[in-house]
Amino acid sequence: MKKQIKNSLTRKVNGKRHLTLTGRKAVTGLKFISPLLIGLLFFFGVPLIQSFIFSVGEIKTNSTGYTIDYIGFANYKNIFFKHASFIPTFVRTLKDVVWNVPLILIFSFFVSVLLNQKFKGRMLARALFFLPVVINCGIILKIENISYMETALFHSGAEGTAMSNMLGGVQLSEYLMKLGIADSLISYLTEALAQVYSIINASGVQILILIAALQTIPESLFEASSIEGATAWENFWKITFPMVSPYILVTTVYTIIDSFLRVDNSQNMSALIDTTVDNMNYGLAASMAWIYFIAIGAILGIVAFVISRYVAYTD
Amino acid sequence: MKKIDGYALKRRLGGIGIFIMRTVFLLGIGFYILYPLFLKVMAAFMSEADIYDATVSVVPKTITFDNFKTVFETMNFPAAFANTLFLSAMVMIFQIISSMLVGYGFGKFDFPCKNLLFVLGIFTLIVPPQIIIFPLYLNYVNFDIFGIFTAINGEKLSFINTYWPFVFSSLFCTGTQGMMFVYMFRQYFRGVPKEIEEAARVDGAGEFKTFIRIMMPSATSVTVCVAVLSFVWQWNDIFWTSRYLRGTELLSVNLYSLTTDVTSKIGASNINLAYESILNSTGAVMVILPLVLAYLFVQKGFIQSVERSGIVG
């Protein structure tokens, strides 16, 4: 068994410490990533620590800066026991995420398999699916939610975000009612329709990643397996799926992060934290953000851990 | 007599079946994706009367350009457009440079705590921006590195309403999704064979020269991908711009305050929900239009870059 000789970074020569080649390469590497180091330290680490300090205090801003009264974990206690909308919003966001993430993943996977095949108009289809990535972010997404266009146009009396009245969701429900279908089923269906829209919107980057992942699978594997007589179903589960599994992990992590931080829903956590900030209750907002963050981190950690046990690494 | 080959027939029918299914599926999804955009464009041409007209559901009866005029003036479109273009382009360039450098460092070098640093970087993606926005804002309002500015000027510097916060965030990989770009570049550079590096070395190139002469030109596909994404995300960004650049003319900021601006111009009695939605739709169309046009030109290269870049190795 060959023993790994550890490359040291420095070497003593005639009593003086010199860098070895490995050492010099390491220094160059550090030079290359220096922007990140500066960024992590000053523009991320420091604000992060500050934000934690804020979360255990009450902030009052004045003309020259701010003052902090340290009130310990009162902010956190407030959130859990007194604040009216934090827990419900939080639970609702969690439910949304748990519901949406698998759907987004399945949808993206399905679409990427579809878009990976050769057919006429493939470029057009791909351009179509990436369009939401380009268009539906930031301000446009915010506008979507405060726009009552569909409500106005389709003369619906119902409330809700633009999505839930989308695309004849209104006509559909009226039609279904005429058919005599139960009310609860109708509302479920229209909800599902609205969800479809947000799922499609949220899938752009995932489709991108998964298409690239699918293209790493060598064609020869499929050829060999079809010679051996494998069906398409077996091909999928024995070749495609395992080979893509590392990227499914990446995509899952990205999807979870993305769906937590999207500004889709006006009742979402982001909106809640934003309004708290606008109300100048920075300490409270900071503690909300921290709780939110810890929750996201915990969920991510668990999911990543569970999935990575099933990932088949080929390198 | 020619025997009808059952297998060939089955394949043919199956092929047609798949074709139909696929086309239906794509058309359906395409409809979902394009419909809101379509609705916005139609709404931009509508007059207010069309909203109340029961016979109008999507296509306006009276085509009017008034909405465009109103939005154009209220949003101060030329100035906002120029500023947004400048800001997005600057952020894009800086992000490309910094993420390429950092990605190369992570991809090709070994140094102590390398994995830890990378994980810390990914950490920045997980943390909700709401956590750090307030401290960052405070830091920028009273910007003072180790008391230098106070010593010189007698008062602290404020970077609010300047582009500096964005310079810092893009140059130091701390912007929105900045680490994602680093990750892309790292994956790409990991896939570049070592032989190329060694050949360059043999030819006498130092590390930096290798980077500039060889690595950078070869990474065009990833660069295109990063460029498109960072430009678009910055163009549409409302989270950071509404906090750092509130007084500046920017497309996203102006669009956000569009309805309030118009209300203050024409009086609260003349505005209602329907007209607001028309305004918002028009504004959204005008903001997205440059992006869509650019996207049409770039999409071929962009999508091909995904295939070729080995983003995922």
Note the pLDDT of residue B107: 86
Which chain B residues are closer than 8 Å to A286 by Cβ? 131, 134
Q: Average of pLDDT values for B159-171?
A: 86
For strands A65-70 and A10-13, give the pairing. unpaired
Give the closest of A43, A130, A154 to B174, CB-based. Answer: A43
For the record, the structure tokens of B302 come out as 């962009």
Which chain B residues are closer than 8 Å to A255 by Cβ? none
Burial of A198 (0-12, 13-18, 19+ CB in 10 A): buried
Q: Report the percent of chain A where pLDDT is more than 70.
A: 73
Q: Report the percent of chain A where pLDDT is more than 90.
A: 1
Q: Which residue type is seen at B158?
A: S
CA separation (Å) from A49 to A239, A273, A286, A301?
Answer: 46, 18, 11, 22
> In A, residues 230-249, which contact B (CB 8 Å cutoff)?
247
Note the pLDDT of residue A91: 82
At residue A69, φ and ψ (nearest 5 deg) are -100, 120
Of the candidates B174, B143, B99, the residue with the CA atom closest to the CA atom of residue A44: B174
A287-296, B23-32, B44-53, range with the lowest pLDDT: B44-53
Note the pLDDT of residue B60: 74
A71-109 tens-digit pLDDT: 777 777 777 776 777 777 788 888 888 888 888 999 999
Q: A307, A249 in Cβ contact below 8 A?
A: yes
For the record, the structure tokens of A184 come out as 């609860």
CA separation (Å) from A264 to A212, B20, B77, B183, B236?
Answer: 27, 33, 26, 26, 14
Side-chain-side CA neighbours of B35 within 13 Å: the count stands at: 18
Give the closest of B35, B239, B295 to A167, CB-based. Answer: B35
Note the pLDDT of residue A163: 41
Q: A259, A104 in Cβ contact below 8 A?
A: yes
How does DSSP classify residue B157? B
Which chain B residues are closer than 8 Å to A289 by Cβ? 128, 130-131
Note the pLDDT of residue B8: 76
A56-65, A134-143, B122-131, range with the lowest pLDDT: A56-65
- Is residue B93 over pLDDT 90? yes
Note the pLDDT of residue B88: 93
For the record, the structure tokens of A17 come out as 């410490």
If one compares B153 and B113, the residue with the highest pLDDT of the two is B113
- Is residue B5 over pLDDT 60? yes
Reported confidence tier of residue B91, pLDDT bands at 50, 70, 90? very high
Reported confidence tier of residue A174, pLDDT bands at 50, 70, 90? low
Note the pLDDT of residue A157: 41
- Is residue B161 over pLDDT 50? yes
Burial of A133 (0-12, 13-18, 19+ CB in 10 A): buried
Nearest residue on chain A to B37, alpha-carbon basis: A135
Q: Which helix (H) or strand (E) holds B91?
A: helix B77-108
- Is residue B31 over pLDDT 70? yes
Reported confidence tier of residue A162, pLDDT bands at 50, 70, 90? very low
For strands A57-62 and A10-13, give the pairing. unpaired
Number of Cβ within a 10 Å radius of residue B161: 13
Sign of the CA dihedral A245, A249, A252, A258? negative
Count of positions (residues) in chain B: 313
B239–chain A nearest CA distance, Å? 7
ipTM of the complex: 0.79
- Is residue B51 over pLDDT 70? no
- Is residue A165 over pLDDT 60? no
- Is residue B291 over pLDDT 60? yes
If one compares A175 and B175, the residue with the highest pLDDT of the two is B175
Reported confidence tier of residue A270, pLDDT bands at 50, 70, 90? low
Which chain A residues are closer than 8 Å to B57 by Cβ? 153-154
Under an 8 A CB cutoff, do B134 and A144 touch? no
Cβ partners under 8 Å of residue B306, min gap 6: A208, A211, A212, B221, B225
Q: B254, B80 in Cβ contact below 8 A?
A: yes
For the record, the structure tokens of B62 come out as 């009276």
Secondary structure E strands in chain B: none
